[in-house]
Amino acid sequence: MYSYIEERVLLVAQYIIEHKATVRSAAKVFNVSKSTVHKDMVERLAKIAPPMAKEVRQILEHNKEERHIRGGMATYRKYKGA
C-alpha cells in the first residue's frame, strides 16, 4: 500500500477517535469521499493498526445506532425554521 494512503488512514482514524466523528464529517474535513473514508476505516485500518480499527469500529457502530435520531432532529429543525 502507498505510504500516503496509510498516512491518510491513520490521520482519519485519529480524527474519528478524538472527535467521535461520523464518516460524513471526517470525509468533509479530509476532503475525500464518504466511500473512501468508509473503506479506509473498515478495510485498510484493520491491516495497518488493528487496535485502532477496533476503537474506530465501535464509534462507527455507535453513530450508526444514532443516525435515525439525527435524521429526525434535522427534519424537526427544517420544518421548525430553526
* Domain parsing of the chain, residue ranges: 3-80
pTM for the model stands at 0.82
| pLDDT tens track, the chain, 82 positions | 689 999 999 999 999 999 999 999 999 999 999 999 999 999 999 999 999 999 999 999 998 888 888 888 889 989 987 5
The answer for residues whose C-beta is within 8 angstroms of residue 13's C-beta and 6 or more apart is: 40, 41, 45, 49, 52, 53, 56
